Amino acid sequence: MHVTQQPGPTDADRGRRFWQTRNFILFFVATSASTLGSAMVSVALTFAVLSHGHSASILGLVLAAQAAPVVVLMVPAGAIADRWVRRSLMVGADLLRCASQGLTAILMAGAHPSVAVLIGLVTLVGVGNAFYGPAESGLIPVLARPEDLRRVNSLLSLSGSITAILGPSLGGMLVAIGSAPIAIGCDAVTYAISAICLTAMRTLRPARRATAPFQTQLLAGLREFHQRRWLILMTAQYGFLNLAAFAPFLILGPVSLAHVVRGAQSWGIISSAIGIGGIFGGGVSLFWHVSRPLVLYETAAAVLVIPLVLLAAQASVPYLALGGVAFGAGIVILNLVAQTTIQRQVPEEALSRINALFGLVAQGLTPLSYAMCGFLARAVGIKPVLAASSVVVGVSVVVLLMRRETWDLRDAPAVADGRSQDKGGRTRGQDNRSSR
């Protein structure tokens, strides 16, 4: 093993609450800036491609080129993040994305860029995303004390929910005045801000890094994942929810309103409600502590049945907006519970690999779920798909609530002192019935 440096608490930070520390403030600004820019460019890039005369199929290729590296590289990136200094990887990813988006903005503002060049540039953004995510998730537990992780993740989630609302609006405004390249350029600036903030963080805390071969460490990460049954169940259900809840609501919702008067406006209201629900879920998580995190995870999954039932019943827009609030809150709480539980139950030196495996299921199934959802809707109809989705989500919740692992796992930093968990989620060397 050799020692590298990770951002940690300084003498000036000791005794302060987590939100007052220099490192966390810089980290919060970095993530908030980059997520705002990404939310802006999601709208701007789409319309910039179309405004240059490219077809919808070319747009699909561009978006796929940005998403593909995340799916392909996420697990290897997690293994690399557990070997190297995570902050350095994040800074490198920010600089790569900054350069790519900056060049894209310049090309979009001038002559028509070739499709090959455009695809190459957005692929680089995807590569940066693939390396940034696992490194970020592994760095958070270094910045905060174990007892503060839930609130740290809640604050970051609140920031993400707010930028998810503001970003598309700002991007849409810039597109409306004919300045899509400016929005893409703003995204490049936000990555630069993120890199500057991350570089300014103090690096005092030593962290152990493995010297084993890369392949050996990758397999070790798979073993760490496999030996935790609670983690397998949580990850599998998240992937299942991608298929049975996320895609049906997000795809069939706008489709069902497409031929209704003011359907686009109605879906815009529902989309805003989803963002409001995300803010609500993050706010509640700041103050609501539960001793059995997986029970809360299943509760959040059960909430997702509400919007599916309302959409299947063709409820009016106000009720669908309430369903959107439930949808947004449920997703945020699912993500918060998953991230915080992994951070508190998995050894720090394996965090990036475990988060990468979880993220691979969470994001890797998204294209498949969208394709399957559209195919099934064409084959049997929208209402039957939504009704069936609500049933299978509810059944999955009942099945997992009947599992012992769901109730055995307690909210405690079980591996903070080097102890490991057995396959059932119980901590070796600790009475699992006790909680913090």
| 243 and 160 both lie in a single domain | no
> Which single residue is written with the structure tokens 């050894």?
347
208 by DSSP, 3-state: which? strand
Residue 430 placed within a domain: no
Rg (CA), the chain: 22
Residue 168 placed within a domain: yes
Angle at CA of residue 331, ends 326 and 332, nearest 5°: 100
Tokens of 301: 């999954």
pLDDT in tens for each of the 436 residues of the chain? Answer: 344 444 444 444 444 555 557 888 898 899 888 888 887 877 777 777 777 676 666 776 777 788 788 888 888 888 888 878 888 899 999 999 999 999 988 888 877 778 888 889 989 998 998 899 888 888 887 777 777 777 888 888 888 878 877 777 777 777 777 677 888 888 899 999 999 999 998 754 545 555 666 677 777 777 888 888 999 999 999 988 988 888 888 888 887 886 777 776 787 788 778 888 988 888 887 777 788 899 999 999 999 999 999 999 988 989 999 999 999 999 999 988 888 888 888 887 787 888 888 888 877 777 777 778 778 888 888 899 999 999 999 999 999 999 999 998 887 654 444 444 444 444 443 333 333 3
**C-alpha closest to that of 231 among 149, 333, 338, 141:** 338
| 190 and 238 both lie in a single domain | no
| 333 and 236 both lie in a single domain | yes
Q: Which domain holds residue 112?
A: 2-210
Residue 391 placed within a domain: yes
| 39 and 180 both lie in a single domain | yes
Residue 20 placed within a domain: yes
Q: Any long-range contacts for 271-274 (C-beta under 8 Å, 24+ apart)? A: 271/324, 272/165, 272/324, 273/321, 273/322, 273/323, 273/324, 273/325, 273/328, 274/324, 274/325, 274/327, 274/328
Residue 124 placed within a domain: yes
Q: What's the rounded Cα separation, in Å, for the pair 312 and 397?
A: 20
Q: What is the CATH number of the domain that holds 226?
A: 1.20.1250.20
| 247 and 289 both lie in a single domain | yes
Domain final position from 163, 179, 210: 210
4 by DSSP, 3-state: which? strand
Number of domains comprising the chain: 2
| 36 and 86 both lie in a single domain | yes
| 278 and 132 both lie in a single domain | no
Residue 97 placed within a domain: yes
| 367 and 239 both lie in a single domain | yes
Residue 175 placed within a domain: yes
